[in-house]
Structure 1
Amino acid sequence: MSVRQALEENKLYMLDYHDIFMPFLDRINSLDGRKAYGTRTLFFLTAGGTLKPIAIELCLPPMTDDCKRAKRVFTPPADATSIWLWQLAKAHVCSNDAGVHQAEDARVHGALHHRGAPADERHAPHLQAAQAAHALHAQDQRAGAADPHKRRRRHRVGVHPWPLLHGDELLRLRQPLAARPGRPPRRPHQKGMAVEDASQPHGLRLLIEDYPYATDGLLLWSAIARWCEAYVAAYYPSDEAVQDDYELQSWYTEAVQVGHPDKRDAPWWPRLTTAGDLASLLTTLVWLCSAQHAALNFGQYPLGGYIPNRPPLMRRLVPAEGDPEYEHLVADPHRFYLSALPSLTQTTTFMTVIDTLSTHSADEQYLGERPNEWTADPAALAAAREFAAEVRRAEEEIERRNADPSRRNRCGAGVLPYELMAPSSGPGITCRGVPNSVTI
């Protein structure tokens, strides 16, 4: 198959961290025990529906003004030495991915921590824990103002692994990623993972049929969307009712103008002039607080707790033939590879943090659950019951998919079932469960 044919048949996919990391690499690589590249990884979609890495590009900034940017390409190994070079290249890709994952995770919190976020009683469970996390952060800020040493101690291990990745450079890396708070999440077709298709149940046809996050996420997104549409219809019978609701319009104006003053004039803010606009906005809020954050957060330890498989940082670059370090790699590749990974102290600290982040509390409330009597309105209660039933049906469908041997990305020898979108869970680290709200 030619490259052109592979592109035409949607067989090639790229994981691209090049532009995100390049502006920061000189500063990251100047840190003691921190080495990174800007990476691009090319994948081929096999006949079995799985993605196979076929090339990794590792890039560094130019060393001088008149030289080309350092760029190396690695392909699947052909001999013993290239096996270890390929392993090192993959480790650097995973390190990029781990750093962006944490910065991307923070965007969810940043978009939802505005003090005026809850629109009404119905949305309280979807923002309850986010507000609690924000309150703890504010308490920590006040404690740090009184005792800077206490603040530094807490942030050294803290409740977030940023300091363990690339120090202050990750905070700078986070800024361009977090510069779009409030922006609606990109849909699969905007990422090149799907095409719009009105004949499909969700209006999208996935280019990778067995894409667990997307297929399961669409189940929950659709359930949330119908729930929000039913609730809005019960209280806003017309578009004029939305436009004339002074408190609603004031809430949204404050969220844009006060909550995100640096982006108040951005063209991508959704309008709030129709009942459909309101339902879409609320759907996005609930999705961000619940399903998207669950998929990002509660698999961190089960999927990333074994550090050699997904190192949060690297301590060595990949040596080239002729470099002194290349001889060390050839002489003892196992020792060299371990020396490129985080130290034991860094490893155990990172594991401790993501263990905490991945843990469900015993009193967690999950999507579709509402133990307190929040309303006596028959229409709202009926919509809530239907939502809970649809969430249960989604969970049953997810269980069915995980038992389907034709879905090779979630079923098979050594393959973990994809349960991050399975709504219910017990306490502890379960790699499943969708709480109503952002919880850590």
Structure 2
Amino acid sequence: MPHCCCPKQLCGQSDEDGAHDLPVIKGTVVVHRTKGRSKPGKYVVLQLSSIAQLHQSTGSGKLSREARLKDRKKTKHGKTKTLTYRVSFRVEPSFGVPGAVLVENGHRHEFFLSSLTLEMGDSRRIHFDCNSWVYPLSQTKAHRVFFSNTSYLPSQTPEALRKLRVEELESLRGDGEGERKKWERIYDYDLYNDLGDPDKGPSHARIVLGGSPAYPYPRRGRTGRPPTDTDVHTESRPGILDLDIYVPPDERFSPKKLFEFIKVSAHAIVHFLVPELKSLLEKDHANFQSFQQMMEDLYSEGRHRSMETWVVDHLSNCLPHAVLHEAARESKKSTIMFPGCQTNICGIAEDKMAWRSDEEFAREMLSGLNPAVIRRLDVFPPKSTTGVISSVRAFHIEKNLDSLTLEEAMEEGRIFILDHHDYLLPFLRRINADGVCVYASRTLLFLRNDQTLKPIAIELSLPSDELEEINRVFIPAKDGIQGALWQLAKAHVAVNDSGHHQLISHWLRTHAVVEPFIIATRRQLSAMHPVHRLLEPHFKDTMQINALARLVLLNAGGVLEKTMFPRKCALELSSIIYKDWRFHEQALPADLLKRGMAYEDPDKPSGVQLLFDDYPYAADGLEIWCTIKRWISGFCSVFYLCDEDVTTDVEIQAWWGEIRTVAHGDKTEEDWYTLTTLSSLVEALTTLIWIASALHAAVNFGQYGYAGFPANRPIHCRRFIPEEGTGEFAEFMRDPDKYFMAMLPDRFTTTLGLALIEVLSMHTSDELYLGQRASLDWTDNEKVVRLFGQFKAELVEAERKIKGRNSMGNLKNRHGPAKIPYTLLYPDTSNEGGEGPGITGRGIPNSVSA
């Protein structure tokens, strides 16, 4: 039988004669139930640490007598299955208020500790939000420390907690040596040197990202795995069978989230996430033959069920057992299909061809998946960073400016550009040598009087042998061959935008940039620091999801390289774009000003006025931005009374310094502002929370709604646009739609990409949304509680305003021809408890967790 093996020097004080005469503090411990794991029960030892009484020999707070879990009951917290235990702590009469709890797991298994709540004799409750895995003492050789829900700036820390505060932070930083074990809670940085696998051959080698001027990158969490045999600069890769990649215990999925991850992964597998299926599909036509066939094949019931069963039968050597078991269950269902008309993807339930219209093509630049790229054009014709001038000329576009001259349209600020040219062109030779056909593109648009955008020209570019550009300009046409060519040009623009969205807007600008903030926060801000407590929900599951992305999505030969057009250049390309990333420009008002989509207006709460009101992402985003900022401003003012309180906070200054010099260490000092005022702290925290919550929601959870119909947002193209006089052009003229379908990815790749975005678009049932916390007792500060209640009320009001805008018929960009209302920035305040029913296309989770 397992037993408590804790050394007495770790356990501290033990029961002594007369202990039963001491006062008792009673409490409740909540543990998540974990399938396949025995219960921790009496083998867990807990001790409270006082904030009032110092232990003379240790210099830390006096400890209670040891206490153990007892009286286990099966319970539920929301939809989460839990176990509730009673615990009783005997303390000295002068013990005072507990500020920390020390936990030792003498059991043979780890367990997920949700919370401890103490009932004090004066009817007061003291709560400890834990939400972490606690590993056996035989592995950790140390207790776990959890602090109560009282927040202290470093200078205000009670004397009895000072040593514990410092020691806890020191232990979290580690020594930067050795390979991390799953039970270790150590936060350190590393380069992106774990994407390649050169031991498999040169084609699997990848450039190390980060740590050099040529390839800057945000840092990731260090795992310390040994280098590969072939290249000492590349870290060896973990075994995929166990999804075994280190993240600290506090960053790991809860048991419920882990179960749901396995379930949705299995769901994706039976949707052809297996290369072995490719040969079977090629026998059953490699291409979709028509738009109608694409819809029927992807969304009809009973699709290739026997094939999927065959695949599951051959996966025992390449899938974790838990995923394989769930995949087998999925494959036996009578209906295996992608969600189709019930989610109205691309409006196909209303109008099967709405996605092809110019209006919808342009509208999605303002309210689609990638709405923060379009910008106002300041100089015509557009000029690249190398000085090369675009081939688009006034005669191409003037007839589409609604009777305005080009000069008048430019003067009124009514010409816009979606620019996927400069960053992409240097990579095209390598990309197109890898089996795809991709251009660099510029798309010009005109703002009409009704505030809709009209595409007026598309320029597609390729590098030539003379180190110049080969440019083709396409102008709008409704019918005939010119109309069909225009559709092909729009598809190539959509390919560029789709790759930029997934790689830059989604991965780089939310997932990748947030991870080093998490590491810096854990290393430099104590868990009892108010800013740590503020940021805690906005970091949930991010390091785990990023680790899994590096394992199966971003790696050499991973899903992203197999589907998206950048192929092997993908992460290298994102590194080049990171060179121009500036943290302060990620604030929504600053971003809008930089892109010329707004102008400064000090009378507005956000400080900016939109250039035109019917910009759904920006209008709704500013509503959410201002709500977040008011909450952060109120929160910080509770703890910081003046600017000096910010500059003298040693932890917050160390945090900001580490972010600038290590976490995002490839950026220069000029890329950051100094954290010397209360207002600058509010701006920094608002920007970080905006990135982790609303920005991520805007670019992630609408993926299935807009890209779920692959023709609307192709992930790459297999053919260029044919030139007149060629055999390809003759083929195109015979059947333009068939040529279009042959230009798109094959059925296997299309379905693989679709399975990925289906998984990414899902909300999980344990999701916590903006304005929600895992516990009502996350803080004991009454002012903060009131401010948080006000924040929630303001989110309700923000959602009401957004719904009101969606109901206004004159705001045409909020629905468009596809009849898809813009809901991606609904806070979804009605969803209390985080039920998160699958693909909803709305709701702002607190964190980057998908």
Tell me the TM-score normalized by structure 1: 0.92
Query: Mean alpha-carbon deviation: is it higher for 297-306 or for 74-83?
Result: 74-83
State the 1:152 CA deviation. 9.0
CA 155–383 in structure 1, closer or farther in 2 if over 3 Å, else same: farther
Q: 2:729 aligns to what? A: 326
Cα pair distance change 1:413/1:23, threshold 3 Å: closer
Supply the distance in 2 between the matched residues of 1:45 and 1:91 (Cα, whole angstroms). 21
What's 1:394 paired with?
798
Secondary structure in structure 2 of the residue aligned to 1:187: helix
Matched residues in 2 for 1:226 and 1:199: separation?
A: 16
SS of residue in 2 equivalent to 1:419: coil
CA contact (8 A) 2:627 2:795 kept: yes
The answer to whether residue 746 in structure 2 is matched with residue 306 in structure 1 is no
CA distance in 2, matches of 1:182, 1:196: 19
Residue 153 to residue 201, structure 1, CA distance change in 2 (3 Å): closer
Aligned amino acid, residue 400 of structure 1: G
Residue 397 of structure 1: how far off its partner (Å): 0.8
- For residue 192 of structure 1, the aligned residue among 578, 581, 596 is 596
Deviates more, 1:76-85 or 1:363-372: 76-85
**1:239-318 correspondence to structure 2 within 5 Å:** 239-263=643-667, 265-318=668-721
Aligned partner of 1:96: which letter? N
Q: What is the rounded CA distance, in whole Å, between the counterparts of 1:232 and 1:16 in structure 2?
A: 39
User: Distance in 2 between the 1:362 and 1:154 partners?
Assistant: 28
Gaps of 5+ in 1: 141-150
Cα 1:300/1:137, change in 2 over 3 Å:
closer
* Partner of residue 106 from structure 1, selected from 489, 507, 510: 507
Alignment of 1:10-409 (within 5 A): 10-32=413-435, 34-65=436-467, 68-77=468-477, 79-104=479-504, 105-107=506-508, 108-114=510-516, 115-117=519-521, 119-136=531-548, 140=551, 158=559, 161-166=560-565, 167-179=567-579, 183-184=583-584, 185=586, 186-263=590-667, 265-372=668-775, 373-409=777-813
Amino acid of the structure 2 residue aligned with 1:5? E
Q: Determine helix, strand or coil for the equivalent of 1:60.
A: strand
- Matched position secondary structure for 2:778: coil
Maintained 8 Å contact 1:103/1:178: no
Distance across 2 between alignment mates of 1:109 and 1:241: 31
CA distance in 1 between partners of 2:610 and 2:643 (Å): 33
How far residue 103 of structure 1 moved from its aligned partner, in angstroms, is 1.8
User: Is this contact kept in 2: 1:157–1:353, CA < 8 A?
Assistant: no
| Shift of residue 182, structure 1, vs aligned partner | 6.1
Counterpart CA distance in 1 for 2:512 and 2:627 is 25
- Contact conserved, 1:46 with 1:52, CA < 8 A, in 2? yes
* Greater fraction helix: 1
Letter in 1 for 2:450: G
Q: Distance in 2 between matches of 1:358 and 1:279?
A: 31
Q: Distance in 2 between matches of 1:319 and 1:270?
A: 50
Query: Which one has a bigger Cα radius of gyration?
Result: 2
Q: Deviations over 1:261-320 (max 9, x none)?
A: 221x34021210011111110000100000000000000111111111110111111111
1:236 CA drift (Å): 0.7
* Paired residues of 2:779 and 2:785 also in contact (CA < 8 A): yes
How far did residue 172 of structure 1 move?
A: 2.1
1:381: Cα distance to partner?
Answer: 1.1
1:43-89 deviation per Cα after TM superposition (whole angstroms, max 9, x unaligned): 11111111110100001112235xx5211100011641011110110
More displaced stretch, 365-374 vs 217-226:
365-374
Q: Name the counterpart of 1:148.
A: none
Structure with the larger RCO, 1 or 2 (CA within 8 Å, 6+ apart)? 1
CA contact (8 A) 1:111 1:181 kept: no
- Return 5+ residue gaps in structure 2 as ranges: 1-403, 523-530
Alignment of 1:431 with 2:831, yes or no, is: no
Contact 1:103/1:177 (8 A) holds in 2: no
Quick check: 1:181–1:260 contact (8 Å CA) kept in 2? no
Measure the CA separation in 2 of the matches of 1:355 and 1:47: 37
Contact 2:562 2:749 in 1 (8 A): no
Q: Which has the higher strand share?
A: 2
Q: Is the 8 A contact 1:395 1:422 kept in 2?
A: yes
Following TM superposition, by how much is the alpha carbon of 1:256 offset from its aligned partner in structure 2, in angstroms?
1.5
Conserved? CA contact 1:403–1:411, under 8 Å: no
Report the RMSD for the aligned CA atoms in angstroms. 1.9
CA distance in 1, matches of 2:409, 2:582: 36
Report which stretch shifted further, 72-81 or 11-20: 72-81
Aligned in 2, Cα 1:412/1:296: closer, same or farther, shift over 3 Å? closer
Structure 2 vs 1, CA of residues 135 and 24 (structure 1 numbering), >3 Å: closer, same or farther?
Answer: closer
Task: Give, in whole Å, the separation in 2 of the partners of 1:152 and 1:413.
Answer: 33
What is the letter of the counterpart of residue 271 of structure 1? T
> Cα offset for 1:129?
2.3
State the shift of 1:231 in Å: 0.9
Q: Are the equivalent residues in 1 in contact too, given 2:582–2:671 (CA < 8 A)?
A: no
What letter is aligned with 2:794? E
Cα distance between partner residues in 2 of 1:388 and 1:96: 38
Q: CA deviation at 1:232?
A: 0.8
* Count of residue correspondences: 423
2:789 corresponds to which letter in structure 1?
R
After alignment, is 420-429 or 86-95 more displaced?
420-429
Aligned amino acid, residue 80 of structure 1 = G
CA contact (8 A) 2:440 2:460 kept: yes
Would the alpha carbon gap of residues 377 and 78 (structure 1) be closer, same or farther in structure 2, given more than 3 Å must change? closer
Deviation of the 1:163 alpha carbon:
3.5
1:171 shift after superposition: 2.1
Match of 2:93 in 1: none
Tell me, yes or no, if the aligned pair for 2:763 and 2:839 is still in contact at 8 Å: yes
Aligned 8 A contact 1:26 1:61 in 2: yes
Give the direction of change, closer, same or farther, for the CA distance of 1:287–1:307 in structure 2 (3 Å limit): same
Residues 320/136 of structure 1: CA separation in 2 closer, same or farther (3 Å cut): closer
The aligned amino acid for 1:94 is: A
Q: CA deviation at 1:137?
A: 5.2
Contact 2:659 2:665 in 1 (8 A): no
Q: Tell me the alpha carbon deviations over residues 406-435 of structure 1, each in whole angstroms, 9 at most, x when there is no partner.
A: 111114663211000001154211111100
- Contact 1:54–1:76 under 8 Å retained in 2: yes
**1:70–1:20 Cα change, 3 Å:** same
Change (3 A) 1:235 1:361: same
